[in-house]
Structure formats: structure tokens, C-alpha cells
A and B are shown apart, each in its own frame.
Chain A
Amino acid sequence: MAALPILILATALVPAAITFFLPQAAHGVRNGLNLGGATAKVALVVWMLVEVAAGAAFETRIPLAPGLFLLLRVDALALLFLALSAALWLLTTVYAIAYFRGKPDQSRFFGFFGLCVAATTGIAMSGTLISFFVFFEMLTLATWPLVVHKQDRASLDAGRLYLGCALPAGAALLVAIIWLESAAGPVAFTEATDLDALAPWAQRAIFALFVAGLGVKAALVPLHGWLPAAMAAPAPVSALLHAVAVVKAGAFGIVRVVFDVFGIDRVAALGVGLPLAALASVTIVWGSLRALQQREIKKRLAFSTVSQVSYIVLGVALIGPAAVTGGLVHLIHQGVTKITLFFCAGIYDERAGVKRIEGLDGLGPRMPVTSACFSLGALGMIGLPPMAGFVSKVYLGLGGLQSGAPWVLGVLAVSSLLNAAYFLPLLYRLWALPPAAAQPDEQVWGLLAPTVVTAAAALLSGVVAAWAISPLGLASLIVERDYLR
């Protein structure tokens, strides 16, 4: 079934293309289209999960120019990211429909929303560097209108900062790709690329360009400025995009570059693994520290994302099998947990008008479901058992020991402490303090249902980690089959 990858892309592209032209009033058609597309995509992904587990691989080649082609290839790693984005897209669509009831420009929003997901799917399934770059840049373009959706001063400034960081990064990435391909020929993720034609310094320079290009989206320290600012976007945007699509695309890119373009042994030989790990660690600590200072909930969550994504980069940079498994599985765990927190932040903002931390006082009992999910998510972030966060941190610690970098344990400990430092006060305010005056009603199932589902997923993926089909199972399958050959 070579056409399957294109079919998956279509499930996101077709509804988006049609939604653009729908008038504002056509709520039914729009919601139906988007929900239909999302469910179809989840169904396809589930069917592919079974196939890939059985060893099948899907591949489609779209010729762009003689010698230049878009290769869409579904392998285990692609499926990991695909599964995450498909599931969360469905949930976020439900959330967004409820969130946007009565607000203007819905057709425009859902149109670009679909384009973003299509770009994310493309990133996941891309088989060559150029295909990856094409979808990577499309993601930047499709995200900007969403960031500036409210069209007010704050979101426009956020949009400018976002483009200001993302476009130069794209340029750096393009230079790296072309520099690499002009020496080593078109780079496909399947067969190894012979980089010996390039001098070592050139290879290091190219690796640095790759990290810089991808680092902006993966919010590595010097390049992370745009993420907190992008919180001016509506809640669904910050939930799906900044917790899942955009940020993970950067991390996923780094995974592809380290494993499929350079290969583990060359990364070790060039000695670029350690600086990357160091950069990731600095980001982890720095993100958590900055999160402590934030008074707005969404800003705090944003800085928490900055630090959490670097867990993935850290795992990959440590190269050991356990560390990589930890990194990959954290890709899923952080996604699921963080989206729960953003959903709750969205509900607090929408229903209770609470943006800052002080507003959370005593909301626990009066908004029980939301606060419960929020607490689950927060605990998951801190990494307490049996939540999913704990599993990733364990593997990351193991990996650190395995690849002879004990200081990783120190970093994990410090960051967990900091996580606790900036999450526990919130929980304390929610449950222990006396309630403020107004009695907000949270009973909007459109917002609540997705939050509950993601919170459950965060809990479940920790509890059933040992099972084969859990995120951990898939991650270890990937590591054994693809990367330790």
C-alpha cells in the first residue's frame, strides 16, 4: 500500500483546504470535517501500528525535480511521533471546537490548524533531509497565523519574535543540508551517508548548523526566547503546537540528524555528542529556574516545556541504548502530560478568568475535575511514580550511567527538585487555600473530556509501561531494531 503515507497527509490537508473556504456560520460542516479527518487519521495510525510491528514498511516517492524527490517513509520512529500527533490532534480539535464557540475567524483557525498537523505528519514521515526541510518550513509558515490569531498587539509581537527566530533557523538548516548534499549526494535516512568526502571541521560545522537550525524549534537555551512569548496565542494553539507539534518537531529533527544522517559512531568520533548533552543539560536547569520566576501559569508551563524537551535531546546526545529509549519515550510522555496542563490552564483562563498563579487559590474543590487533572499532570512533570514522567527519568538516569556520564543523574535530580519547586505551590494553592469569591462553572464537557483523557493517558502510560504496546514498548522496539544494528 504505497499510497498510505499520502492518505495520512490527505486526512489533514483535505479538511484544511476545504475549511478555508467555509463561511464562519458553517459550524456543523467545519467541525464534522475536522473531527472526521482526525478520527480517520487515528484509525490509519492504529492500523499502521499493527503492520509496522509485524515488520512492514510503507514508502511513497513524490518526484520534485530530476534527482530531487519527496520521500514519505513510515518506520518505527516515524510511527512514534505520528501516533502522538494523531491522537493529540483529535483531542485538541474537540477542545478547540468548545474553546472557540462564539469567537470569530474559526474557519481561518481550523484551516491553518489542519495545515500545521499536516506539516507535523510530513515531518514524522519524511524519508530524506529535503522532505524533512520542506515540511519543517511549512510548519513555521502554518504556525504564524495561529500565533497571531487574536490579532492583538501581544500576539503580533509574539508572531514577529517567532518568525525572527524560526526563519533564520530555516536558512541555517537549508545551508547545512545543501552543503552536506553537495558533497555526499542526496541524503536518505535509510542508507548511511558517506560523509568522508567532507573534512572533519566541515562535518562539525554542518552538525553545529543542524543543531542551530533545529534547536530553535527544540527551544535549546539561547534560541528558546520565542516559546514563552508565543503563549499569547489561544489555548488550543499553545496546547497542541507548543506542547507537541512545533517543539517536538525540533527534537525529532535532532534525533533524525544524530541517528540517520550522522550515525552514532560518527557522532562519537567527531566528539559532538558531549557538547550537545551539555547544552541540553544547561537548558533543562535554566528552563526550570526561569519557570520559577514566572507569575503567569502559561508562561511557567512554557518554560517547563523548554526544559522538558531538552530531556529528549539529552537522552539522544548520551547515545547509550537506555538513554535513547528514555529520550524517545519522554517524547510521548512529555507530550501527553504537558498537553493536559495546557488544557487545564486553558479551562482556568476561559471559565474562571484565571491567568496568574494567585488566581488559583481554592479553585480545587470548586473546579474538581480540572484541578485533579492539573495535579496529575504536575506530578507527572515532577516525575513521581507511577506517572509517565518517572519512567522516562529512570531510563535517562540509567542511560547516563551506562554511557559513563554520572553527572546526568545530578542534572536529573536538580531538575526534578526544581520541577517540584514550581509545581507544588500551585497544587498547594489549588487544594489548601480558602476559595476566592466567584463560583466558576467548569461543566463544559467539550473542554473537560479531552483533558481527562490526556490525564488518564499520562497516568496509564506510566502504569502499563511494561506492556508491549505502551509508549515505552514502542520506544525500546525502535531502539533495538533500528539503532543498535
Chain B
Amino acid sequence: MIDPALLYGLTGAAVVGLGLYGFLSLRHLLRRVLAFNVVGSGIFLMFGAAGYRGAVAEGTAGADPVPQALIITGIVVALAATALAVGLILAHARATGRRTLPEDDT
């Protein structure tokens, strides 16, 4: 019976790993942005799990609110970065007709 916080924490770490693998290996830029968002959700999952672990031990009502607030901020910042990245990808594709960075083209 491993406690849920640890389970979600490790899942978060695994999701970060998967996302990083995708981010570093994929060539299609849009998929790299997607992998970036996957890594982000993995990080926040770990953060939430840590927060939940802290709260359960202290017996307070809900999970630790500070990580929750930071995660919401993090999600919005990740969205802003994604939106700019997507805008750049489209502009780059329009200018060069390519979906990948020049050095990745083989």
C-alpha cells in the first residue's frame, strides 16, 4: 500500500522523463512544444504530490495551498510560452516552408 502522494510523485517524474525524451528527440517543432507542455504537467504533478504529502502529514484540511497557487501560475506561464512558440512556428513555416529547425533538416 504505497501512499498516493508518492505514487503521483513518481508518475510525475516518469511523465517528465517521457516529455524530455520527446522534447529532445522529436524534430517536428509543434510536437516539441507539445512535449514541453507534457514535461510541464509532469513537473506540476510532482509539485502537487509534494504539496499533498506535506498537508497529509500536518493533517490540515486541503493540500498545501502554496504549491497549488504556483502550479496555476506555472500553467498560465506555460500557455503563454506555448502560444508564442506556436506563433513563431507558424511564422517560420510561412517564411521558410519548413516545420523543423534548419539544423535538424536532413
Establish whether A and B are touching in the complex (CB under 8 Å).
no
